[in-house]
Each structure stands twice: as structure tokens, then as C-alpha cells.
């Protein structure tokens, strides 16, 4: 029987780059009949509202959520500003698409998760890389047992330092920012999604800070190991301190998955399309004029082509709107998975700081150190 789509009245809280991307996709979705924006930057709000033909604009997300038209919410504020809008949307009782993380503080994240589950709301978190075709294909091979029992996974992520510098400039607490928590969480989410039947029991990590530590009090890179209850292991490493001229717009990622019956390697470095120019780009993601070489496709949301965003963030947004309007299942990360990801990245950072393994679940002592 053909499903009957429900009309969607969409509230977008936060009209930055991601809010605009998702708003443009939503404005073309047939189920979306009304769009409202909440953005504290008045000029930005008006600019985005004009581009997506929004029906309502305000600086106050509570005023937006009070509108009777609202039936679903996208929360796209800065990472450290998610909790307030999430709690208000819980009070409103509507489904949500939340940019990762639920919160930057582990205790707050646990509180948000508990509130969401108690309310019985459908909330998914924006781990956009799940919607790249290669990661979906890999998930299917692991799911159907093509590799047998997965025993070892490795991931390596390289990033130039622009994302790190941007994050450190926007915080007065560098200790709350790390390559794992902000960026490495995407690779970790994919791997944990592949290993969803396994329970992590210990993490161990080391970090270095010779570049970003000097100027920002931050971390350059982290390497770690997650051990699972059945003895399988996940080795991960991330550096977000590569030179600004490193060609990856953001991510350059490689993953290897070993099983008892097979192996799967995934190259997501984007070196298959290399753009070299003699003058800075004027279109697309071009955060620094020194970058004259780029791996096309390495910007996580996707790329602008023929006037529209093409890639995983478009796929994810359309998929979520179908989930809301048609009730169809999607591969999106759940709030519980997002909280687990934050816990693991925080625990790895704590292990690097204390220079010793951290057993899981977290003890009260270790949880207090992460509060």
C-alpha cells in the first residue's frame, strides 16, 4: 500500500552554512509546506530566509518553536549551543535532526539523551558520512557477513589545520576541543556502526600538541585503541594539524576492516579528483586563499554543482524528511549512538591525558573527570 506523506512544517535553528545547506534541500522537498528560521545574526537570517523562501524569521528559537506550523526541527547551531534548542524542541514534542554532538559536555549529553528517550521522540544526529555511497556499501557487506566476524579495524584521518584553528578561535576553553571530539568522531561513528553488535570495554590513547598546542593550547593529533568484549580491536588515528595547503578540503580518510573470512579496504581520501588552480577559488568551500590545490569531494556536506548541493548532506536531509513525512526507516545515527560516540572520544582523550587505559563503562571517578 502506497504511503501517504504528512505535510512538514520545518523549524531551522541556526542559519549558518549547514542551516543554509539543509534549508535549500528542504525547500525543494514536496512534503515541506512551511519553513521558519531562528538565527541570532539578523543579516544572516534575512539572507538565508531569502535564499530558501522562509515563511518566518526570528532571533529567538523559542518564538519559532511556539509557532503552530512547526512539526519538525533541524538544530544547526554551533556545537556548544545545542542543549537549549534540543530541550525546547523536546517540550514542543517534535522529531529532530540534530547536528552532532548532542552536547559538548558528557553529563549534559547524557541528560539530553535521557530526556529524549523519556519523551519517546524520534531524534537523529547528523553523522553525514553514513550517507556516502561507499560507507553504505561497506556497511552492507559487514551486515550480511561477507567478512565473517570482524576482528580488527583501522582508520586514519588527515585534515589540514583550518577546522582546528576555527574551533579553537571560537572557544574560551581549549581543553573542551580536540581532534577526536570535533572531527575524529565521524570516522569513529562509521566504524562503530559497522561493529554495532560489539561492546567496547577499554580505550587507550596518546596525543601530541607540537603545532596547535603552541598557539592555541590545543591538540594536534591522537592515536588510540578501542578493545571490545569479544577481543576484537579498533585502531584509530587522526591529525587535524596538517599544513593549510594540504589538499583535502576537510577529510582524507582510509579504513581497513579485517574479518575471519575476508577483508574490506575503503579509500575515502578523494585523491581521484585533484583540482589545481593558479588563483584562489571563488566558489564552493574555499576558506583560505593559500589553498590552490584541492581534493574535490573531501568537503563533508558534498559539493555545489549546477546551483545545488550534491552529496551526503543532501542525501541525509532528504532521507530525514522522508522519515518524518513517510515514516520510513533510515541509516541515520540515533541519539544513543551519538552519546556513545561522545563518550568514546572523551574517554580516549582522557586516556591520552592520564597516559593509562580507561576501562568501560566509565567509573564514577573517570566520569567526574569528564564532567
Q: In this predicted structure, what is the pLDDT of residue 290?
A: 84
Q: What is the pLDDT of residue 355?
A: 96
pLDDT value, residue 282 = 67
- The pLDDT score that the predictor gives to residue 170 is 82
**What CA–CA distance (Å, rounded) separates 76 from 17?**
9
- Average pLDDT of every residue of the chain: 93
Position 284 scores a pLDDT of: 60
Residue 10 contacts residue 74 (beta carbons within 8 Å): yes
CA-wise closest residue to 72 among 13, 2, 30, 117: 13
Please tell me the distance from the alpha carbon of residue 144 to that of residue 303, in angstroms, as a whole number: 31
Residues in the chain with pLDDT < 50? none
Query: What is the structure's pLDDT at 309?
Result: 87
Supply 345's cell numbers. 572520544
Whether 125 contacts 98, CB under 8 Å: yes
**Nine cell digits for residue 240:** 587535524
- Per the CB < 8 A criterion, the answer to whether 90 and 9 are in contact is no
Distance (Å, whole) CA 259 – CA 162: 36
Instruction: Give the whole-angstrom CA distance, residue 351 versus residue 349.
Output: 5
- Please name the residue ranges forming H helices in 31-146: 42-52, 61-65, 83-92, 106-119, 133-143
Query: How much is the pLDDT for 47?
Result: 96
Structure confidence by residue, pLDDT tens digits, 128-182: 999 999 999 999 999 999 999 999 999 999 999 999 998 888 887 888 889 999 9
Cα separation of 164 and 184, whole Å?
12
- Give the pLDDT score at 285: 65
Give tens-digit pLDDT for 98-114: 999 999 889 999 999 99
Q: Which domains does the chain have, with CATH numbers?
A: 8-121 (3.40.50.720), 130-301+342-348 (3.30.360.10)
d(CA 76, CA 124): 13
In the chain, % helix, strand, coil (3-state, to 5) comes to 40, 25, 35
Q: Give the pLDDT confidence score for residue 80 in this predicted structure.
A: 85
pTM: 0.94
C-alpha cell at 212: 596547535
Amino acid at each position: 500500500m502506497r504511503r501517504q506523506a504528512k505535510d512538514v512544517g520545518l523549524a531551522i535553528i541556526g542559519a549558518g552554512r549547514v542551516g543554509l545547506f539543509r534549508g535549500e534541500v528542504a525547500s525543494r522537498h514536496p512534503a515541506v509546506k512551511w519553513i521558519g528560521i531562528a538565527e541570532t545574526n539578523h543579516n544572516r537570517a534575512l539572507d538565508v530566509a531569502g535564499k530558501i523562501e522562509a515563511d518566518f524569521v526570528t532571533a529567538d528559537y523559542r518564538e519559532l518553536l511556539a509557532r503552530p506550523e512547526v512539526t519538525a526541527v533541524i538544530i544547526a547551531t554551533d556545537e556548544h549551543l545545542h542543549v537549549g534548542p534540543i530541550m525546547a524542541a523536546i517540550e514542543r514534542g517534535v522529531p529532530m535532526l540534530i547536528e552532532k554532538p548532542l552536547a559538548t559536555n558528557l553529563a549534559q549529553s547524557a541528560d539530553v539523551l535521557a530526556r529524549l528517550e523519556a519523551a519517546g521522540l524520534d531524534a537523529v544526529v547528523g553523522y553525514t558520512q553514513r550517507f556516502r555511497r561507499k560507507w553504505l556499501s561497506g556497511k552492507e557487506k559487514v551486515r550480511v557477513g561477507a567478512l565473517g566476524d570482524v576482528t580488527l579495524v583501522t582508520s586514519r584521518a588527515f585534515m589540514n589545520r583550518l577546522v582546528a584553528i576555527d574551533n579553537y578561535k571560537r572557544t574560551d576553553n581549549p581543553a573542551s576541543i580536540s581532534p577526536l571530539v570535533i572531527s575524529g568522531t565521524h570516522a569513529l561513528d562509521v566504524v562503530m556502526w559497522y561493529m554495532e553488535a560489539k561492546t567496547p570495554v577499554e580505550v587507550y590513547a596518546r596525543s601530541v600538541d607540537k603545532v596547535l598546542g603552541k598557539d592555541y593550547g590545543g591538540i594536534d593529533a591522537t592515536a588510540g585503541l578501542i578493545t571490545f568484549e569479544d577481543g576484537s580491536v579498533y585502531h584509530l588515528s587522526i591529525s587535524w594539524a596538517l599544513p593549510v595547503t594540504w589538499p583535502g578540503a576537510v577529510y582524507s580518510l582510509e579504513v581497513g576492516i579485517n574479518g575471519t573470512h575476508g577483508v574490506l579496504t575503503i579509500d575515502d581520501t578523494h585523491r581521484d579528483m585533484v583540482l589545481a588552480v593558479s588563483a584562489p577559488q571563488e566558489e564552493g568551500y574555499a576558506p583560505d586563499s593559500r589553498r590552490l590545490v584541492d581534493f574535490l569531494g573531501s568537503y563533508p556536506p558534498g559539493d555545489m554543482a549546477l546551483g545545488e548541493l550534491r552529496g551526503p548532506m543532501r542525501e541525509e536531509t532528504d532521507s530525514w524528511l522522508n522519515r518524518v513525512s513517510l515514516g520510513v526507516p533510515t541509516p541515520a545515527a540515533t541519539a544513543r549512538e551519538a552519546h556513545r560516540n561522545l563518550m568514546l572520544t572523551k574517554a580516549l582523550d582522557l586516556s591520552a591525558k592520564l597516559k593509562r587505559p580507561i576501562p568501560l563503562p566509565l567509573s564514577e571517578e573517570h566520569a567526574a573527570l569528564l564532567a
